Amino acid sequence: MLEQETRVHPYMANSTDVARRRMLDVIGISDVTELFEQIPSDHLSSEEIQLEPALRSEIALRRHLMTLLGQNDTCEENLSFLGAGCWQHHVPAICDEVWARSEFLTSVWGTPSSDLGRNQAWFEFASQLGELLRMDFVGLPVYSWGAAAGHAFRMAARLTGRNRVLAPRAMDPERLAVIRTYCGSPELKGHIELVGVNHDPATGRYDMGDLRSKLTDETAAVYLETPSYLGIVETNAAEIASLARAHGAETIVGVDPISLGVLAAPGDYGTDIAVGTTQPLGVHMNCGGGVGGFIATRDEEKYAKQYPTLQVSICDTVVPGERGFGLTLFAQSSYGSREFGNDWTGNSVYLWAIANAAYMSLMGPAGFFDVGSTILRLSHYAATKIAELSGVRVDWDSGFFKEFVVNFDGTDKTVNEINEALRQRRIFGGKDLSESHVELGQSALFCVTEIHSADDIDHLVDTLKEVTGR
């Protein structure tokens, strides 16, 4: 048995001899091991666990963590142009103040009355996202954009009784890997077949001919992204939705909500199910740990009944005029119906939904217009300037948002070599596409957001000129 001086711990009030004695006495036993009587002795580990020595003081713990984490080099100390599913946007200070509040941080479930504030914040997340999307039914967030798309494909398959989904061939490989998982295996139930649709090499947009040839009366859904992984804004979204509808297929649209101050709302061009990311809305990158996803539809029963998520509805209380918030359609979730529910739900990224809500309130309509306009101009400025470099091409030099593809074939250098040279000069270059998108040659996906200045971009361009040796 451990000595008291090594047992008392700041995280555990009862780690004193007095408390332990009192509990033993009340229970009527002399040793804690008696409590493990249900466990056969041959289940108990014969060897004690061996861990590194405890760092019981916060002083020692902090020093250790700072030493470890200090090895990281951040996007604040460097100039970063990485995006590709996780983006460096400005996170307003009050977003961090709000989510980090102990009440939100530690809440578990509560009742509609005792955790009113959190439930209201969730409703405000859904309500504000619904305004950006112009869609009336919004679920609580899911793990990521890929998870949201995967669930949406499954919703569409259940709605249509079909099992084929058309999706962009040039999709984010990271997101596609998640979607493939959600689509299952042909040997088992509920498998969804993914059919890749080409992009038009001239524009980067969906190849409408290829889409038409693959869209049939067996298609459950057409999935498009705008902006796409490669940054391209899809100008034919309304036509694609109308083609899908003509074949009885659902239209699923993936969007980055930070674009919706300047880009048309998915609800305005025939989208049936909108999905996308929540990370740009006031959540730090967190090494990819900031990602989150959403699912939204029109407020129609047939769609609502397919949601796998939990969702909060505004409602009234027993006191006239008082408002509250409760869960709607809980019974169709896995909590309510186990394997008979829609897919599954569980802990997700609900705390980030509160950061998202605060972010959208801060932004308002003018903030979203401004951030969208700023990103459009800065990213196009960067593309224009980079394209002026010798040996460097930007084939899709307009009609993109935030991200754009830069080709280095004419420099006789690989993206890897260029990025390595940039890194020596404290710049994180764009995501290397040369392995995931071989047809694009030595290309990289550059991301420019509102955090960048003209000086930042000029510095990138100057440094690219230096490292490409042109």
Enumerate residues 408-467 that contact other proteins by CB under 8 A. Answer: 419-420, 423, 428, 431, 450, 453-454
The region that residue 231 occupies, defined by phi over 0 for left and psi between -120 and 50 for alpha, beta otherwise, is: left
Q: Nearest distance from residue 71's CB to other proteins, in Å?
A: 3
Q: Are 341 and 308 in contact (CB under 8 A)?
A: yes
Q: Is the CB of 78 or the CB of 216 nearer to other proteins?
A: 78
d(CA 353, CA 82): 24
Binding region for other proteins (CB under 8 A) out of 163-171, 212-220, 304-312, 460-468 = 304-312
User: Residue 353: which of 364, 342, 361, 345 has the closest Cα?
Assistant: 361
Residues 150-169 that bind other proteins (CB under 8 A): 154
Does residue number 5 form part of the binding site for other proteins (CB under 8 A)? Answer: no
Which one of 17, 201, 212, 373 is in contact with other proteins (CB under 8 A)? Answer: 373
Contacts of 446 (CB under 8 A, 6+ apart): 81, 83, 382, 383, 386, 403, 404, 405, 406, 429, 430
Longest Cα pair distance anywhere in the chain, in angstroms?
Answer: 83
Rounded least distance, CB 158 to other proteins, Å: 12
Decide: 119 and 325 in contact? Cβ < 8 Å. Answer: yes
Least distance in Å: CB of 429 to other proteins? 10
Task: Select 235 or 242, whichever has its Cβ closest to other proteins.
Answer: 235
Binding mask 218-237 for other proteins (x = CB under 8 A): --------x------xxx-x
Size of interface with other proteins, in residues (CB under 8 A)? 220
DSSP string, 387-446: HTSTT-B-SS-SSB-SEEEEE-GGGT--HHHHHHHHHHTTEE-PEE-TTT-GGG-SEEEE
**Binding characters for other proteins, 192-221, by CB under 8 A (x = yes):** ------------------------------
From the list 64, 56, 63, 62, the residue with the least C-alpha distance to 8 is 56
CB of 267 to other proteins, least distance (A): 8
Q: Which of 216, 361, 414, 434 binds other proteins (CB under 8 A)?
A: 361
Of these, 30, 38, 202, 438, which contacts other proteins (CB under 8 A)?
Answer: 38
The one among 11, 30, 202, 438 contacting other proteins by CB under 8 A: 11
Beta bridge partners of 447: 403
Binding-site string for other proteins from residue 174 to residue 193, where x marks contact by CB under 8 A and - marks none: xx-xx-xx--xx-xxxxx--
Tell me how far, at minimum, the Cβ of 201 lies from other proteins, in Å.
19
The SS3 assignment for 356 reads: helix
Q: Which is nearer to other proteins, 161 or 187 (CB)?
A: 187
| The binder of other proteins chosen from 5, 30, 53, 161 (CB under 8 A) | 53
Binding of residue 311 to other proteins (CB under 8 A): yes
Tokens of 362: 């801060």
Query: Does 356 engage in binding with other proteins (CB under 8 A)?
Result: no
Q: Which of 308, 234, 229, 345 is nearest to 276 (CA)?
A: 229
Query: Which CA distances in Å does 243 have to 138, 276, 410, 413?
Result: 25, 22, 39, 43
Question: Contact between 369 and other proteins (CB under 8 A)?
Answer: yes
Binding residues for other proteins restricted to 83-142, rule: CB under 8 A? 84-86, 88, 92, 94, 96-98, 100-118, 120-121, 123-124, 126-132, 134-140
Under DSSP, the state recorded for 223 is: E
Give SS3 for 233. coil
Determine, following the binding rule CB under 8 A, whether residue 246 of this chain makes contact with other proteins.
Answer: no
Please report how close the Cβ of residue 190 comes to other proteins at its closest, in angstroms: 5
Which among 94, 370, 350 is positioned nearest to 258, based on CA atoms? 370
- Contacts from 72-75 at CB under 8 Å and sequence distance 24+? 75/285, 75/428
Q: Is 26 in the site for other proteins (CB under 8 A)?
A: yes
Question: Among residues 196 and 217, whose Cβ is nearest to other proteins?
Answer: 196
Give the residue with the Cβ less far from other proteins, 180 or 212: 180
CB 196, min distance to other proteins, A? 17
User: What 3-state class would DSSP assign to 244?
Assistant: helix
* Alpha carbons 256 and 147: distance in angstroms, whole number: 15
CB of 93 to other proteins, least distance (A): 9
Nearest CA to 290 out of 99, 77, 72 is that of 99
250 vs 432, beta carbon nearer other proteins: 432
**Cα–Cα distance, 245 to 240 (Å, whole number):** 9
The DSSP output letter for 453 is -
Residue 248 CB, shortest distance to other proteins, in Å, is 23
Figure out which of the listed residues 171, 354, 394, 461 binds other proteins, where binding follows CB under 8 A.
Answer: 354
The interface with other proteins within residues 270-299 (CB under 8 A) comprises 284-292, 299
